[in-house]
Structure 1
Amino acid sequence: MSKKALYLLGIAITIILGTFLYLKFCCNCCDKTSTDDAPKIVSPAVQEPNFVPFVLSGSGIEYQTHDNLKFLKNSAILVMPVSDSVTAGIEKLKAFLSSNPKQKVTITGYATSDEKNTTTFENLGLARANDVKNYFVSKGMLENQFNTKGEVIDKWKMSADTLLGPANYSFDAIDSTSTASDEWSALRDKINADPLILHFNTNQSRLTLNDSEKQKITAIKQYLEHVKDAVVLAVGHSDNIGNHDSNVILGQKRADFSKNYLSKNGIDATRIETQSKGPDEPIGDNNTSEGKASNRRTVITIK
């Protein structure tokens, strides 16, 4: 083989060997460097959405929106105005209840354990449920198609000082007429067996309710909501200090004051009758200060 041919063969072998070594070692280094230097992709943290959906779900009705009814902390009054999406759901509920007059909806209102209840209701959750019910009634729905409940829980989703949708709506099975009648008769008997008795100071008609008395007012309101011809009877009494006729007048003033108080707390004044027995029906000994105090009262029952 000539020298020229050997020279060309050497060049060819050098090129082939150089290419092989480059591909084997240098490209791997490039790939490794590229992989090591590539920025790491970090998945963003998933944030929980800050809303409570408004949900109406029952046989024959389905509606949901991310907005909801709202209450300020420690308040039983709905925040106004209500959003368009919630209003649309309320209109759908109105149409559904109108087409199904026997359907009952239970509204369960919620309050947190650190909130203060300044209402006459047993708890703030129940007060909120009743305010939601009253709002629905103001939109044309029937009051007797709603029941209300209240629960106090540890916490609820909030935005600043506003609770987002602290209420739930359940569509009840329809009770038979006889079962419902027995239920409300039992409530009436319970109210009259342990009536609401409001006590007064001498010659005064002011009062402050305790928790037990607030619960009794709630029971009376529930009964009146479901028994449309029911009437509340408020009978005023006095001790025997002073003139008999003056005490009869004082007893009537106490009965009228109690009627006014009840009407301000959600009981229709036209469904409250008043009477006065003056000093004629004492329950305590008028010879003792304790007995006289117990006689200065108004007794509230279902007539």
Structure 2
Amino acid sequence: MSKKISYLLGIAVTIIIGTILYLQFCCNCCKAPQTVNQETVTAAPETKTNPFVLSGPEINYQCNDNFNFLQNSSSLITPVSDSITVGIEKLKEVLVKNPKQKITITGYALTDEKNTTTFENLALARAHDIKTFLISKGFPESQLETNGEIADSWKTTGDTLLGPLKFQFNELEAAVPDTVNWTALKEEINADPLVLYFNTNQSSDNLSKEEHQKVVKTAKYVNHVPASKVLVTGHSDNAGGREANVLLARKRAEFTKNYLVKNGIKASNIEVVSKGPDEPVSENETAQGRAKNRRSVVTIK
């Protein structure tokens, strides 16, 4: 065999052996990569929030906390958070600095919520409660207005509505001539005042539609004439001792005051007195007469 043939056979043998070794030890490199099981990641539950937003001239503030209300309630849940306090202080600074700036507070309520206030709807009652809260913090009352809207849905957590409010910045409009005869309204209120009657040692705020309207008129007058005072006078029958009746009559007047405060009249505008059994409107010899004497009367001073 010639050297040339031997050389070629050597090359062929080398190639064959190399191929065998490659297939034996490197074939696994050609296989498709195995799928690596990845650990399932569970997303964190979404936190329910409805941010508190103040966006207007000279202010742009937002935080995740808000003014919250229980369902069917017109009363703000207190205390409010520190972040809300910071926001309303910034807002107060803007209003004090710009006396022509006006804020409209729009309250919201769900269609299936029950309105037990004398306001037109629960949404308006909530807006008024926020207005009262802001006034207690030193806000100028003349720069705050209220509005109410009914919504089909709202962000909630449990039985709490999260921030059912909106703050809108508006310029104060030119003064509109006052067409209401406030003197005549005061005379009308006092000529046919709101009178609440009480069972013995009991009280009730289940007012009729006509009585609710009297509360609305009284609130309208007092809110327009800030220096005015509502006088709530408590009375009793003559059953029992005089001192006890004077105290009982005052409790009835205080009950009436609290009801008026809940329905839009500031406590500072209400004065309470007790006449006890001294000014009966009917005889005390009959049950019917004594029932008429157990009363509180609301007038404008």
Cα distance in 2 for partners of 1:145, 1:136 equals: 11
Match of 1:289 in 2: none
Cα distance in 1 for partners of 2:85, 2:266 equals: 27
Cα distance in 2 for partners of 1:47, 1:40 equals: 21
Match of 2:15 in 1: 13
CA contact (8 A) 2:106 2:149 kept: yes
- TM-score normalised by L of structure 2: 0.63
Q: What displacement does 1:160 show?
A: 1.7
- TM-score normalised by L of structure 1: 0.63
Cα distance in 1 for partners of 2:88, 2:116 equals: 28
Structure 1's 143 and 150: CA in aligned 2 closer, same or farther, altered over 3 A? same
Matching residue within 47, 56, 66 for 1:58? 56
Matching residue within 134, 158, 161 for 1:160? 158
Matched, 1:146 2:141: no
Q: What displacement does 1:208 show?
A: 4.3
Q: What displacement does 1:155 show?
A: 2.5
The RMSD of aligned alpha carbons is: 4.8
Q: Once the two structures are aligned, what percentage of the paired residues are identical?
A: 41
Match of 1:102 in 2: 100
Unaligned runs of 5+ in 1: 235-256, 279-297
Corresponding pairs, count: 257
Aligned partner of 2:174: which letter?
A: S
Match of 1:131 in 2: 129
Aligned partner of 2:13: which letter?
A: I
CA contact (8 A) 1:110 1:166 kept: yes
Q: Deviations over 1:13-50 (max 9, x none)?
A: 2255458878997544x2x242xx23478786686540
Q: What displacement does 1:87 show?
A: 0.5
CA contact (8 A) 1:122 1:214 kept: no
CA contact (8 A) 2:100 2:171 kept: no
Q: What displacement does 1:233 show?
A: 10
Q: Deviations over 1:109-167 (max 9, x none)?
A: 12222322222222222221111111111111122221112223222212222221111
Match of 2:69 in 1: 71
CA contact (8 A) 1:144 1:226 kept: no
Higher helix share: 1
Q: What displacement does 1:6 show?
A: 3.8
CA contact (8 A) 2:71 2:113 kept: yes
Cα distance in 2 for partners of 1:213, 1:207 equals: 10
